[in-house]
Structure 1
């Protein structure tokens, strides 16, 4: 997906053009009214006088003007020179400055977002939001970003590709524009816990089935977010301190976890595969019968059954039953081989 901006509304894109046209129209009506009411011209003659004055074509006066009319016309010419200059610069910027292309891109991206399904919405482009976007892009998961502050966009890594909606994520219409009705998950990373709670509530009201991952800064906010309907709570400060402490107490373990999480550049990753994504002929078989290790090189390190705890380091005799999620580990090439052979 190409990177593009989707503004709060289409109208702001036409703001300068709208102002320029409005100024020309007001100037025309002002001149016409003056010549019609003050000089007694007919409506046609007054309109003609206004047009030739605005356009500065240099035609002579169609009727002799009074001293007051000459003073008005002089001021009228100067003011219209300014209006015409503004209008020309605005039109030039739209035709040659890329504004038309930007508007077409906004329209195109609006259509693309409307067609998205099972995507992720990321609210907020702070440090956590950007990292979430990078991971989603790496995994090939389609996502839409919602950010209210245009200055924050300067820190966004354009190369990861996304649609960005400029707007307040606490507003219903902004989340609807981001495709919340068809999204599978929402990540809210705003620095304000109150806003994260409000976004979670709004999200739950619009789509009760969406998975919500919310950031919390204060311990007291965790329960509020859970009551609001958050599926999982992430506390970056707590996780950061915990991680730093374990770099001392368990450095090798943390190095291994970093390796799996993609923090390092080592070609190794974990992947989860749901039962419904497994090819029909491999369903309801044991790990031994699937022969995953020999066929692909990946290792099955965990199974997750619905309403049950994780089965870490499962036995080769454990069966891949309905609603089971398999967690495997291997290189990118091995994971790719597994997906090609064992998945639909």
Structure 2
């Protein structure tokens, strides 16, 4: 059954892309070359729309009630709509953040998917957020959505990295015997595979033919937030919250480092630069395909390490402290890559 659902997701996404790509060029829903961009031709920005449709069709193959996923669909549609507007007309940051906050509130208030417990991070017992649960969760969701968007800067990168992170979340759900949740995540992976067939840089001659656009990065960031929060909190509690940090390690580390650098330079945290990991690797001469393998592979290694450590009984505080030192090592490595000749 799950194989059939994945097949539906892959085929539907691919078919949607075939239909939407020529339409995108006619309505100017495209990314033009020039400036800091690496591509040399016009690229349709319809990947996110196709992924959403493919995932929705795949979900219909599951013999379960989909009522609980209505908030997910509404929040996702809102972000896709805002992403399309941004891709076509470059809406203001205030409008983007407004849509992200509303989608986050749909998740927290309507779906009741909220971070209420951070676990034991400092050997001082569990940290319960109480009244701060909804504001904290909203901040985390908006932060992750934008962190995913920041990494969407090289052919195949965002899709490959999110695919790995979804795999780790599906593995977490499976190990906790949450089979339905694992199947839902796998179906989204299937839809993402249909997109990656058109987006992954398989060779120098076969580069990305389509981009996911802001619609795709915002929706997939929202999806990661939904599954990560749901699996780390009651009633599912498939993994301690610190495990989620390891599963999303590269995305969080990259965004946090870049924002800190901008703040230290007295720049807006939302300004553009070439301090992201994929930019640094591009400047060092790595091909888009190798950048995907390096970043997605590193995240897979860190994520598997975190999940395995928790299942072997390593305490949350030890993993949290290790995560902090991992971030310091990451920053040191980035500094070396940027300065070494």
Normalised by the length of structure 2, the TM-score is 0.23
Which is strand-richer, 1 or 2? 1
Greater share of residues in helix: 2
Q: State the structure with bigger RCO (CA 8 A, min sep 6), 1 or 2.
A: 2
TM superposition score normalised by structure 1: 0.23
